[in-house]
């Protein structure tokens, strides 16, 4: 989902995945995904697993859009089933959706920590932002909140959920502040620390 949320920032990258470009009466769609370095075509229908008398079990559409559900179903078909998509890394999803190489930086790695200390990592992030690269960030750990129906904002200090990946929309220097704009691909639960929506740091 994080990789799809990143891709949604570049509509042309989403559109090129679809061989079937518009809705059709048969409800059959062909999309292409890059798996193990090769582009493969996956055919799916427009039947999606749903809760009884309710909406889809997995991803949700924005209004009457189907593209997220279709891509998720094709990706699940490529990997055997929906439940095989529950874990993994956004970088792998981005490779499969773009066919492009990715780089991963793990903040606990001593070399990456040195890059952070000498500002090299921030300079790279700024240059990637300016170049229009797709970026994501994730929080280590395991999500014990979402599926249990517990509100993480009541138990976590800043609203970021362990085991979740977030789309990085912007990396900017603003008046001596280094700010990263994140999007939660699940669309709920927000950062509550410094520079959050209700933070006193914001001025007119």
pLDDT at 65: 83
User: Region 177-195: what's the mean pLDDT?
Assistant: 80
What is the distance between the alpha carbons of residues 131 and 124, in angstroms, rounded to a whole number? 10
pLDDT at 146: 57
Alpha-carbon dihedral of residues 131, 105, 96, 129, nearest 10 degrees?
Answer: -20
Cβ atoms of residues 99 and 34 within 8 Å:
yes
What is the distance between the alpha carbons of residues 54 and 96, in angstroms, rounded to a whole number? 30
What is the distance between the alpha carbons of residues 44 and 75, in angstroms, rounded to a whole number? 10
How far apart, in Å, are the Cα atoms of 152 and each of 58, 76, 156? 20, 28, 5
- On the 0-12 / 13-18 / 19+ scale of CB atoms within 10 A, 33 is buried
Structure tokens of 5? 């949320």
pLDDT at 111: 96
pLDDT at 130: 94
Under the banding of pLDDT at 50, 70 and 90, the label for residue 28 is very high
pLDDT at 144: 63
pLDDT at 163: 78
Q: How far from each other are the two terminal CA atoms of the chain, in whole angstroms?
A: 34
Under the banding of pLDDT at 50, 70 and 90, the label for residue 183 is confident
93-97, 132-136, 143-147: least confident range: 143-147
Q: What is the residue extent of each domain of the chain? A: 2-98, 110-183
- Report CA 136 to chain centroid distance, whole Å: 7
Place of tokens 């039947």: 47
User: Length of the chain in residues, anyone?
Assistant: 204
Backbone angles phi, psi at 95, to 5 degrees: -60, -45
- Report CA 59 to chain centroid distance, whole Å: 12
β-pair partners for 170: 181
Model confidence over 29-85: pLDDT tens digits? 999 999 999 999 999 999 998 899 888 888 877 777 889 999 999 999 999 998 888
Segment (H or E) for 131? helix 120-131
Predicted TM-score of the model (pTM): 0.79
β-pair partners for 135: 168
């Amino acid at each position: 989902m994080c990789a799809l949320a990143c891709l949604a920032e570049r509509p042309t990258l989403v559109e090129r995945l679809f061989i079937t470009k518009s809705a059709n009466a048969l409800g059959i769609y062909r999309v292409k995904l890059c798996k193990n370095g090769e582009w493969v075509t996956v055919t799916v229908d427009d039947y999606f697993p749903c809760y009884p008398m309710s909406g889809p079990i997995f991803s949700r559409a924005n209004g009457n859009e189907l593209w997220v559900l279709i891509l998720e179903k094709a990706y699940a078909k490529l990997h055997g089933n929906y439940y095989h998509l529950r874990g993994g890394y956004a970088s792998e999803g981005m490779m499969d959706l773009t066919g492009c190489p990715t780089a991963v930086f793990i903040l606990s790695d001593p070399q990456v920590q040195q890059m952070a200390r000498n500002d090299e990592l921030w300079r790279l992030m700024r240059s990637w932002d300016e170049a229009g690269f797709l970026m994501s960030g994730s929080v280590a750990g395991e999500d014990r909140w979402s599926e249990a129906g517990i509100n993480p904002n009541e138990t976590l200090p800043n609203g970021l959920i362990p085991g979740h990946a977030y789309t990085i929309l912007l990396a900017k220097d603003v008046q001596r502040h280094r700010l990263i704009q994140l999007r939660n691909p699940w669309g709920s639960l927000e950062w509550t620390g410094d520079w959050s929506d209700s933070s006193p740091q914001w001025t007119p």
